[in-house]
Amino acid sequence: MTKACNVQELSKSYGNLEALKGISFDINQGEIFGLIGPNGSGKTTCLRILVTLLKPDKGEAKIFDTDVVKHGAEVRKLISYLPEEAGAYKNLSGNDYLRLVADLYTGDSNRQNEFIERATSIANLGTRLKDKVKTYSKGMARKLLLARALMTNPKFAILDEPTVGLDVINSLEIRKVIKAFVNNGGTVLLSSHNMLEVEFLADRVALLKEGRIFELGLVADLKQKYHAKNLEEIFFGAEK
């Protein structure tokens, strides 16, 4: 089976703080993989290494067999990243924001239009795309940002807290978008501290705490192993 991502003994420290302590996992092409844990567990550090924003102290990571340190420029052509703290330009309309991002990706007007058409469909904001982003609700803004992340139809999407702060309806809509992306051939690494949210989406999960993975596997298998009803019970059971 083709590996979309392979991480081996990845370590990263900030001074005396060990954010990652030799974690290893792989992600199969076409799956949704959940990286879950509480705040401060090392999730964001791992993501930033994978998207080439940080260099690890030790270990290696590859996206579709392309090393994130040695061949960062090539990796960036394969991925898209939605950070938890992402924001759009508030004084632009949704349409203008998508046009701006499309222009950053390519100077080919046909491809730009293709990206914008895809993003418009994903965002599903209708005529509100004509309005300035500053008038959007949090849910609308997050849909726009997810559309931006997926507009190029990347091979591998890395999504950090994609539904953070959203109500149930907006969360459900974003889940549908993520599942549709994977059904159309994409692969997703989904990071969240919301374990129940990940359970709705992920095929496999890695449970991370204090920079270490202490459990990894299929959600159904882990539930059976810990006689648990959900990932929250698994998380607390695995710590004991």
Taking only the tens place, the pLDDT of each residue in 159-193 is 998 888 788 888 888 999 999 999 999 999 999 88
Residue 27 lies in a domain: yes
- Tokens read off for 4: 């979309």
Measure CA 48 to chain center. 11
> Are 207 and 238 contacting, i.e. CB atoms less than 8 angstroms apart?
yes
Residue 56 lies in a domain: yes
Domain containing residue 206: 3-86+154-239
User: CA 22, CA 11: separation in Å to the nearest integer?
Assistant: 5
pLDDT score of 33? 97
What is the tens place of the pLDDT at every residue in 13-51? 999 999 999 999 999 999 999 999 888 899 999 999 999
Q: pTM for the full model? A: 0.92
Residue 215 lies in a domain: yes
Q: How many domains does the chain have?
A: 1
Closest CA to 81 of 172, 156, 173: 156
User: CA 98, CA 94: separation in Å to the nearest integer?
Assistant: 6
The confidence band for 239, taking pLDDT boundaries of 50, 70 and 90, is low
Residue 63 lies in a domain: yes
The confidence band for 238, taking pLDDT boundaries of 50, 70 and 90, is low
Residue 95 lies in a domain: no
Query: Which CATH number characterizes residue 40's domain?
Result: 3.40.50.300
Residue 105 lies in a domain: no
Residues in the chain: 240
Closest CA to 234 of 198, 190, 189, 201: 198
Measured at the CA of 166, the angle between CA 90 and CA 54, to 5 degrees, comes to 70
Residue 72 lies in a domain: yes
Residue 77 lies in a domain: yes
